[in-house]
Amino acid sequence: MVKGGVRRALIVLLSYGLGAVVVYAGAVFVARLLVLPELFLRLLVVILAGGAVAAVWLAWIYPRLGHGGAPTDDTRREA
């Protein structure tokens, strides 16, 4: 299970990193366009870093989230 957890966490981390780069690039454009203070980008980096930690942690502890589960007796009776 450790290998699966590491693999899953790396996939989530890479996906989150790609999304974070896109969000940051868009935020830099908007910050320059609206002449926002430097604090805006610093807060965004902190929020994105915290989100990365949360995403990897959730990927590690919930291995089957979104993949459904094994059928239970109740679902077999309905089918």
* pLDDT at 61 (0 to 100): 81
Whole-number Å distance between alpha carbons of 78 and 49: 45
User: Domain segments of the chain: what residues?
Assistant: 2-78
Q: Is 59 exposed, middle or buried (0-12, 13-18, 19+ CB in 10 A)?
A: buried
As a whole number of angstroms, the distance between CA 64 and CA 52 comes to 19
Q: Would you give per-residue pLDDT tens digits along the chain (79 residues)?
A: 457 678 888 899 999 999 999 999 999 999 999 999 999 999 999 999 999 999 988 888 876 665 555 555 555 555 5
